[in-house]
Amino acid sequence: MTEAKKHYRTCNLCEAMCGIEITVENEKISSIKGDAEDSFSRGHICPKAIALKDLYEDPDRIRKPMEKVDGEWRELSWDEAFDKVVARIQSLQAKHGNDALGVYLGNPNVHNTGSLLMSGSVLRALNTKNKFSATSVDQLPHHIVSWKLFGHQLRIPVPDIDNTDHFLIFGANPLASNGSIMSVADVKQRLKDVRKRGKVVVVDPRRTATAELADAHHFVRPGTDVLVLLAMLHVLFAEGLVNTGNVAKHFDQGPMSLADKFTEYSPEKVAPITGMSAAIIRDMVRDFCSAKAPVLYGRLGVSVQEFGTLSQYLIMLFNMLTGRLDSVGGLMFTKPAVDILAQSGRGNMGRFHSRVRGLPEFNGELPVAALAEEITTPGEGQIKGMILIAGNPVLSTPNGEQLDRAFKDLELQVAIDFYINESSRHADFILPPVSPLEREHYDVIFNVLAVRDNARYAKALFPRKADARHDWEILLSLRDRLQPPKGLKEKLSRQLLRSAGPAGLLTFLLRQGPYGGGLNPFKGLSLGKLKRSPHGVDLGALKPALPKGLYHRDRKIHLEAEFFLKDLARVDSKFFDNDGVPEKFLLIGRRDVRSNNSWLHNSHRLVKGKSRCTALINPLDAQALAIADGDMVKVSSRVGSVELAAQLSDEMMTGVISIPHGWGHSLSGTQWQTAEAHAGVSVNDLTDEMHIDELSGNAVLNGVPVTLESMSMNEAVSA
């Protein structure tokens, strides 16, 4: 028996960036634990970290390139695969135009150092307008707000959780998600610490684990946060509570001029629609303003709703009007060791629009809610082929069933993924990268969003096998064939990039970054130093950064009231120009600590036990429809219906149903062996691709009108 070896790295599965300690004996992982000495996560992990071992060992994980021939998968060599894929892409684009090729980038790309640093060139080589990503089923509103206000789409301030004494949370459940646009490991303890200093208050249509831990929880009717936030701003102005503090001098125009925008939205007026009483709304604001270091934070529950962008703007405005931006304990900007903002576009919107529905691009990407129609609607620019890079849009984007049908008819589909999922099952080629433990890791993006500045780097635990490829190698190989180097100089520089790899780029980026030694290789934070610091380097608590931290040329915060508040017309027509609230149920999502979007469901330890894909319903609603706990119910929307078991709980607001996303693994042709028993249904067979946040094009995944019926009388189902 060989000696046990310890390996330290950051778990890349979610945004929390937990440090883990992996013990390897005889080439096998014998344990994965939280790294107690990690500079950021202090020993915290969740059950998913251990699934890194399952993922590495999973016999179902694809390890060789594959081509589908007459409906059967066959393996091929990398060179053969690259040649064939590129030939097919080129003939498709030659025949139908460049835009006939669509690209979808899924969430794991941002958790992958090599993909993040090296995917740009292949995307440019593909030269298509039809680029989509998980951004438009997620954080697009945050990018637009930061781009408009602070001048850079990635300049997103995060709650200073370690210093706030009053944490007001709208639409986030960090106890399940482990934090989002707030990279924070060990969030439970950190929230408990906030409570010791003051209060945690949660606004959510469901009494989640986070709400249970909080001092107060208020139900809100899904999709009506915008009204609550407008009323909160109304109270700020009406009760003379505006105090912009240190933020005041950074505005491009006086925010007091906005007062009259909110006069119409008194708490009394919005209360019946939102389900939150006027007294609660008023007290929430007064309480916030009487705390020493309060912060208002809104996340996914607020972003993916009909007024997601306006709501995120109002959240930012509220923080600014109470002096809580760039202030200790408030919303703070980070200072990451790799300054990826300097390397990326600041943002752009509406330079072109989607062909069929005319939805605006943001940062060169179109809203994914428009993907299916771009495939199915004939005409110039119609998408005829797709490349999926680490994504599963059939399960993760609205009206997934329609997209599934659209994918079937494509002339070409290529997936870069190590599983055959519900989307890549339609592929002609699958190019599988190595799994996370076989590559190096440095969190380029989530350090931009972390509650403490820190830097950690880990080499691959297992070197990649000779016949395996990293994501970045796959991307560069495609690019080299699509766009061969023009001369010797370019050939050499590409070879140099390949041999340097992500580590080479990181060496440069760290040196150029705010803690690096610049031209002096012996000074400052370097990759070498990180290699010698397996538990990472703490770079300190977040510090005020204005005005230098602003990206507008005038170094001012642009209020941009016109751009955002023009959407009030839509708010008024939705909520006030009709006969009140519709009768239907409203659907929301939910996350569980043992799931990760639509994948990791092949890890037995993460799916064992009772199925988690249930419809959570308030017992009063269930009673009215004669639904008992465990009964099969049918939930239907404009676009489709699903049948699943009901789970009754008063943690749900009445009139609201919750179904988790990422399930629905029952489709044939996939490789989810373990999940088969827990296939579940896809909630995105209910979400509606036509129901979007019109200001951004972001999908509406929360507050979807649905009907609910009992199926207990249906013998086919009860049998």
Q: How many other C-beta atoms can be found within 10 angstroms of the C-beta atom of residue 275?
A: 21
Distance between start and end Cα atoms, the chain: 53
| Nearer Cβ to ligand MGD (460/593) | 593
CB 181 within 8 A of CB 450: no
Q: How many other C-beta atoms can be found within 10 angstroms of the C-beta atom of residue 367?
A: 27
178 lies in the binding site for ligand SF4 (CB under 6 A):
yes
180 lies in the binding site for ligand MGD (CB under 6 A):
yes
Contact range with ligand MGD by CB under 6 A, out of 93-101, 327-335, 588-596, 628-636: 588-596
| Nearer Cβ to ligand SF4 (46/386) | 46
Q: Which strands, in side-by-side order, build the sheet including 28-34?
A: 5-10, 19-25, 28-34
Q: Which of ligand MGD, Mo ion, ligand SF4, none is residue 416 near (CB under 5 to 8 Å by kind)? A: ligand MGD
Nearest-CA neighbor of 261 among 569, 498, 657, 653? 569
Q: Which of Mo ion, ligand SF4, ligand MGD, none is residue 601 near (CB under 5 to 8 Å by kind)? A: none
| Nearer Cβ to Mo ion (138/651) | 138
Distance CA 706, CA 644 (A): 14
Contact range with ligand SF4 by CB under 6 A, out of 10-18, 154-162, 404-412, 504-512: 10-18
For residue 49, give both structure tokens. 């970290």
Q: How far is the CB of 10 from ligand SF4 (least distance, A)?
A: 7
CB 585 within 8 A of CB 708: yes
Q: How far is the CB of 107 from Mo ion (least distance, A)?
A: 5
Which of 128, 392, 671, 696 contacts ligand MGD by CB under 6 A? Answer: 392
664 lies in the binding site for ligand MGD (CB under 6 A):
no
Distance CA 196, CA 173 (A): 20
According to DSSP, the residues that pair with 557 across neighbouring strands are 251
Contact range with ligand MGD by CB under 6 A, out of 387-395, 454-462, 523-531, 603-611: 387-395
| Nearer Cβ to ligand SF4 (176/613) | 176
Q: Which of ligand MGD, ligand SF4, Mo ion, none is residue 18 near (CB under 5 to 8 Å by kind)? A: ligand SF4
Which of 299, 452, 479, 556 contacts ligand MGD by CB under 6 A? Answer: 299
CA 400 to the chain's CA centroid? 18
Measured CA distances, 58 to 26, 153, 401, 429 (Å): 18, 37, 28, 20
Q: How far is the CB of 398 from ligand SF4 (least distance, A)?
A: 25
9 SS3 class: strand
Contact range with ligand SF4 by CB under 6 A, out of 44-52, 85-93, 287-295, 360-368: 44-52
Helices 278-290 and 267-274: crossing angle in degrees, nearest 10, is 120
Distance CA 445, CA 372 (A): 29
| Nearer Cβ to ligand SF4 (178/435) | 178
Give, for 122, the enclosing helix (H) or strand (E).
helix 120-126
Query: Could you write out the three-class secondary structure of 147-201?
Result: HHHHCCCCCCCEECCCCCCEEEEECCCHHHHCCCCCECCCHHHHHHHHHHHCEEE
CB 139 within 8 A of CB 181: yes
Q: Which of ligand MGD, Mo ion, ligand SF4, none is residue 13 near (CB under 5 to 8 Å by kind)? A: ligand SF4
| Nearer Cβ to ligand MGD (321/415) | 415
For residue 104, give both structure tokens. 């979808």
Which of 267, 275, 294, 589 contacts ligand MGD by CB under 6 A? Answer: 589
597 lies in the binding site for ligand MGD (CB under 6 A):
yes
- Tell me which DSSP letter residue 604 carries: H
173 lies in the binding site for ligand MGD (CB under 6 A):
yes
**Residues between 115 and 174 that touch Mo ion (CB under 5 A):** 138
- Tell me which DSSP letter residue 576 carries: T
For residue 545, give both structure tokens. 């950064």
For residue 480, give both structure tokens. 């080299």
Contacts of 378 (CB under 8 A, 6+ apart): none
Q: How far is the CB of 270 from ligand MGD (least distance, A)?
A: 14
Q: Which of ligand SF4, ligand MGD, Mo ion, none is residue 402 near (CB under 5 to 8 Å by kind)? A: none
According to DSSP, the residues that pair with 132 across neighbouring strands are 104
For residue 528, give both structure tokens. 């070498």
| Nearer Cβ to Mo ion (138/631) | 138
> DSSP letters of 465-512?
PTT-B-HHHHHHHHHHHHS--SSHHHHHHHHHHHHHHHHHHHHHHHHH
Q: Which of ligand SF4, ligand MGD, Mo ion, none is residue 17 near (CB under 5 to 8 Å by kind)? A: ligand SF4
110 lies in the binding site for ligand SF4 (CB under 6 A):
no
Apex 707 CA angle, 703 and 709, nearest 5: 140
Helices then strands, counting H and E runs in the chain, come out as 25, 30
Contact range with ligand SF4 by CB under 6 A, out of 7-15, 292-300, 531-539, 707-715: 7-15
15 lies in the binding site for Mo ion (CB under 5 A):
no
Instruction: Report the residue number whose CB is nearest to ligand MGD.
Output: 301
Q: How far is the CB of 716 from ligand MGD (least distance, A)?
A: 27
> DSSP letters of 530-549?
HHT-TT-EEEEE----TTTT
Contact range with ligand SF4 by CB under 6 A, out of 13-21, 259-267, 341-349, 526-534: 13-21
110 lies in the binding site for ligand MGD (CB under 6 A):
no
176 lies in the binding site for ligand MGD (CB under 6 A):
yes
| Nearer Cβ to Mo ion (138/689) | 138
117 lies in the binding site for ligand SF4 (CB under 6 A):
no
Q: Which of ligand MGD, Mo ion, ligand SF4, none is residue 112 near (CB under 5 to 8 Å by kind)? A: ligand MGD
Apex 124 CA angle, 120 and 125, nearest 5: 120
456 lies in the binding site for ligand SF4 (CB under 6 A):
no
Contact range with ligand MGD by CB under 6 A, out of 295-303, 475-483, 493-501, 607-615: 295-303
x/- map, 311-340, ligand MGD, by CB under 6 A = ------------------------------
Contact range with ligand SF4 by CB under 6 A, out of 41-49, 230-238, 333-341, 363-371: 41-49
Measured CA distances, 453 to 73, 177, 444 (Å): 46, 21, 12
Nearest-CA neighbor of 482 among 122, 101, 100? 122
CB 15 within 8 A of CB 446: yes
687 lies in the binding site for ligand MGD (CB under 6 A):
yes
Q: How far is the CB of 656 from ligand MGD (least distance, A)?
A: 8
450 lies in the binding site for ligand SF4 (CB under 6 A):
no
| Nearer Cβ to ligand MGD (267/549) | 267
Distance CA 306, CA 687 (A): 12
596 lies in the binding site for ligand MGD (CB under 6 A):
yes
Which of 119, 244, 595, 698 contacts ligand MGD by CB under 6 A? Answer: 595
**Residues between 179 and 198 that touch ligand SF4 (CB under 6 A):** 185
Measured CA distances, 182 to 298, 325, 408 (Å): 10, 15, 38
Instruction: Report the residue number whose CB is nearest to Mo ion.
Output: 138
**Residues between 482 and 541 that touch ligand MGD (CB under 6 A):** none
β-pairing, 412-416 vs 441-442, is unpaired
> DSSP letters of 98-115?
GGGEEEEE-GGGGG-HHH
Residues lying near ligand SF4 in the complex (CB under 6 A) are found at 11, 13-14, 16-18, 45-46, 48-49, 178, 185
Catalog residues that contact Mo ion under the rule CB under 5 A.
Answer: 138
Name the site residues for ligand MGD (rule: CB under 6 A): 14-15, 106-108, 112, 134, 137-138, 170-174, 176-178, 180, 203-206, 208, 220, 222-223, 225, 299-302, 305, 389-393, 396, 416-419, 421, 433, 471, 588-593, 595-599, 661-662, 683-684, 687, 701-703
